[in-house]
Structure 1
Amino acid sequence: MTSMIEAAEPTPGQTLPAPAPLRRSRFFPGLVFGLTFALLLSDYMSRQVLAAVFPLLKLEWGLTDTQLATLNSVVSLAVGLLAVPLSILGDRFGRARAIVAMAALWSVATLASAWASGYGELLVARILVGVGEAAYGSIGLAVVYLVFKPHLRSTLSGAFLGGGAFGSVIGVALGGMVAMRYGWRAAFIVMGIIGLVLALVYAFTVTEKRLREHAVPDVAAKLEPEGAALMTKARFRTLFSTPAVVMAYLGSGLQLFMTGTLLAWLPSFFNRSYGMSPDQGAKVAAIFLLLLGIGMIGTGIITDRVSRQVTQRRWTTSIIYAVLSLVFLVTAFSMAPGPLQLALLAVGAFFVSGPAGPAGAMVAALTTPSIRATAFATLALANNVLGLALGPVVTGRIADSIGLANALQIVPWVGLLAIGALVIGWRTHHSSLAKLGLTDTFGAVDTANGENLTNGADR
């Protein structure tokens, strides 16, 4: 044993061999995406299971539509208000650890919802759900971006955001079935247990060390300042440094106003306008929410294909998606219940969240890697406060006055504001990149894709 140790020690003047390069697992990035996506499903299952039990809560506690909407929107409001500060903490103290802590909190809060004895207690539990979920979208997406190549960002953003719709589908459909058979409290228990199990699996599978070993280089890192003081100063300057990144926040948030409305109110719409039972309405609504999620992924893939060489096309596709959703949703809700209304609603649901994926990619292109979770948190702030929180409450308040069906004829017009913001972002795209010393013209660095382009072809 001694001779072996001595043989391994270098003699004076001897140079040690270079350390072997890190062996990266081909499957780890997929595992990271799969587990992060699964927790995202749990996030939205815990958030949207409430929509499935709206009719039961309204009957048992005599709640108004505004009160029901508040129980839903308070989660998105907490997410929006706390996303930035909690994401800063996640960037600083470890994203993988933050994800596990957040998942545990929202799962326990969901379990606590099952034991609420009245509106006030349930409201507090829902606020805690929002606190747990606050930074998950931003930190989770930053973790996924870390281990995948940059040219996949619109697809990854669309898929990741689409997970919110898929989680809503599961939460609404499964929650409705469980609630009708075992009561609405059992629905919250099921969602909470699922979240806790996934958090435990994540804790033992995805670690800070493994994320560092599998990190993919990002050309936007050249924008990073050196030194802690400069980094802190740059953190907030970069978040709002250009008109284009601000319009990405606003355009995405305003467009998700209608997404939030559909997530919260579709089960009740089918219950009231089509005379369906709560569980039947939840199942039919789940189909449309599934289309919404598929649309997020599909529009993200389309955007990545057409904008691979010219990133400004991300704005163009986003504008097209917003216009199509506005036209089809306004037309659908102006019609009487029937097959034609359902067909038009399906098309509108497919495109309504289309700008969300491209918005995430553009925010990534216009911010530095070390603050990307914070940048996504800023995007989440806009998405949740302007969209997912405001949409259901405004719709519920209008519904208390003129009925849900009539309210849904009015609220899609908010999409005009989203279209206006996206058009401004499109017009300021080049000047915003130039302000950062970047460009997406051929032969120069395309930050959004993380590649060099020469003569229109990938090098």
Structure 2
Amino acid sequence: MLTTHAEPTAGEFAAGETNVRTYAWVVFALTVGLLLSDYMSRQVLNAVFPLLKATWSLSDTRLGSLSSVVALMVGVLTFPLSVLADRWGRVKSITLMAAMWSLATLGCAISANYGQMLLARAFVGIGEAAYGSVGIAVVLSIFPVHLRSTITGAFMAGGAFGSVLGMALGGAVAAHHGWRAAFGAMAAMGIVLVVLYRIVVTEKRLAPLQPQSVGGPAQGRGMCTSLRTLMKGLFSTRSVVCAYVGSGVHLLVPAAIWSWMPSFLNRYYGMETGKAAVTAAAFVLMTGVGMVVCGNLADRFSKQARERKWTIAIAYCLICFTLLAIGLRMPAGTAQLVVIGAGMFFCAGAAGPSGAMVANLTPPSIHASAFATLTLANNLLGLAPAAILTGIVADRIGLLGALQLVPFAPLVAAAVFFIGKRNYTADLDRVNVLLEEAAR
């Protein structure tokens, strides 16, 4: 059977270490919990879009900017902050970042005008900048390599589930107590989780779970890699670049739909704010479930053929395009919402395979930086421009017309993944040889 991973199986748990395996799942749960808080703080804004529009008389462009500024800060800062996290220590970095975005969300609650809200949202983005890359690096370092697509998909799905909670709970709180209370509730949840994570997770307790290349004393001190070596590891192959780009482009779809679905339901279905937010959260939930299921299927179907993850990622993109292109052109009604929901199930399905490809094609010692690069691509190519571009187009041709253009992004992603697939086998063999030489 062909090997499917560049990283050696040193990360596998030793037989009988049940206590270690249990702690790994505890770390996974807490790390995903913080990711939930991350996206609750980010997406609660979308639930209160109609209220903010009415309160401050904002255009769709300005509303979109409040969402996009978070992803922009994440995109700009994720790489440098993730490199610092590799050097300073991942657990300490996670704690600091989570505390920052929670306090910034509290700042949103007390904003007096659009300018103050935009500044507070920027600090939410600064706090969140490196969390996704550092968090997934910690999680992947303590689980077996054959579960990478599953773990990556499940971890990234935390963003979808956090968005569900942020939109549903935020919309419910805002409907009864106002939009300021909605931001305050998200901030309080984040602060509680920060304290819990700080108490339970430590570098010392993580070390026995990690392979020697990423664990032990080295990780406790932080990694010391030259910039030249780092860049070589991050961009050593054409296929890893395709994984970065394809992942970023295909995530434009969930970012745009998540941001504007409450407004879409409010404007075209006449739903009031609370109901629109809860209904929109169901579409986000479909995305999260799809990420987990699609990631697991990618692992199952690629056991015997290492390049099959690329084929599966391409299939997810094409299915998403077809369903959303049809659904967004159907007349308003239950049938339209069902087809859109089906498309949302697949819209981020390539996230798990993309993360697994990046992990397979980069050295374990720089995985936080590699996932920072993936996060950079995700944000600059998909998450950051999605909301504001949709808002700009919506101001000109209407929100529905703007959303009808969104499904074309997965077509571009599918083409990029196809290029990556053609080079993957040779690139993976090359990376395996380099790792074996470095281990000698």
Instruction: Return the TM-score normalized by structure 2.
Output: 0.91
The residue type equivalent to 1:102 in the other structure is: M
Instruction: State the one-letter code of the partner of 2:350.
Output: P
State the one-letter code of the partner of 1:26: R
Hey, what's the Cα distance between the residues in 1 that align with 2:176 and 2:17? 52
Paired position in structure 2 for 1:245: 240
Are 1:334 and 2:329 counterparts? yes
CA contact (8 A) 2:306 2:425 kept: no
Note the 1:380-419 alignment, pairs <5 A: 380-419=375-414
1:70 has 2:60 as partner: no
Cα shift readout 1:34-86 (whole Å, capped 9, x = no counterpart): 00010000000000000000000000100000100100010011011111100
Q: Is the 8 A contact 2:393 2:399 kept in 1?
A: yes
**How far apart, in 2, do the equivalents of 1:50 and 1:261 lie?**
13
The correspondence for 1:348, drawn from 343, 349, 354, is 343
For 1:97 and 1:400, the matched residues in 2 are separated by 43
For residues 196 and 347 of structure 1, the distance between their equivalents in structure 2, rounded to whole angstroms, comes to 35
TM-score (norm 1): 0.87
Residues of 2 paired with 1:313 and 1:60: CA distance?
50
Match of 1:376 among 368, 371, 389: 371
Please show how residues 48-127 of structure 1 align to structure 2 within 5 Å: 48-127=43-122
Q: Distance in 1 between matches of 2:246 and 2:135?
A: 22
Deviations 1:260-315 (A, max 9, x none): 00110111111111110011110111111101000000000000001123221110
Hey, what does 1:206 align to over in structure 2? Answer: 201
- Given candidates 313, 317, 322, the residue that maps to 2:308 is 313
1:233 Cα shift?
A: 2.7
What residue number does 1:215 align with? 210
Check conservation: 2:313, 2:350, Cα contact below 8 A. yes
Is contact 1:149–1:216 with CA below 8 Å preserved after alignment? no
Tell me by how many angstroms 1:436 deviates: 2.4
Task: Render the CA deviation track for 1:412-448: whole Å, top value 9, x for unaligned.
Answer: 1122211110110111111212332459xxxxx9xxx
Contact 1:47 1:72 in 2 (8 A): yes
Q: Give unmatched runs, 5+ long, in structure 1.
A: 1-20, 220-227, 440-444, 446-459
Looking at structure 2, the residues matched to 276 and 205 of structure 1 have their Cα atoms a distance apart, in angstroms, of: 43
| Whole-Å separation in 1 of the counterparts to 2:19 and 2:61 | 51
Identity of aligned residues (%): 50
- SS for the counterpart of 1:187 is helix
CA contact (8 A) 2:253 2:407 kept: yes
Unaligned runs of 5+ in 2: 1-15, 215-222
Q: Contact 1:172–1:286 at 8 Å: present in 2 too?
A: yes
SS of the counterpart of 1:428?
helix
| TM-fit CA distance, 1:22 | 9.6
Cα separation, 1, equivalents of 2:187 and 2:429: 47
Counterparts of 1:413 and 1:87, CA distance in 2:
31
Indicate conservation of the 8 Å contact 1:40/1:167, yes or no. yes
Match of 1:451 in 2: none
Contact 1:46–1:107 (8 Å) recurs in 2: yes
Q: Which amino acid aligns with 1:423?
A: F
* 1:273 aligned residue: 268
Following superposition, the deviation at residue 25 of structure 1 comes to: 2.7
Cα distance change, pair 281–229 in 1 and its aligned pair in 2 (3 A)? closer
Q: Matches of 1:328 and 1:70 in 2, distance apart?
A: 28
Equivalences for residues 90-239 of structure 1 within 5 A: 90-216=85-211, 231-239=226-234
Compute the RMSD of aligned alpha carbons.
Answer: 2.1
1:423 counterpart = 2:418: yes
Deviations 1:93-141 (A, max 9, x none): 1111111000000000000111111000000000000000000000000
Specify the structure having the higher radius of gyration (Cα): 1
Q: Are the aligned partners of 1:110 and 1:126 in contact in 2 as well (CA < 8 Å)?
A: yes
Please state how far the C-alpha of 1:343 moved relative to its aligned partner: 1.4
Partners of 2:112 and 2:186 lie apart in 1 by 19
Amino acid at match of 2:387: P
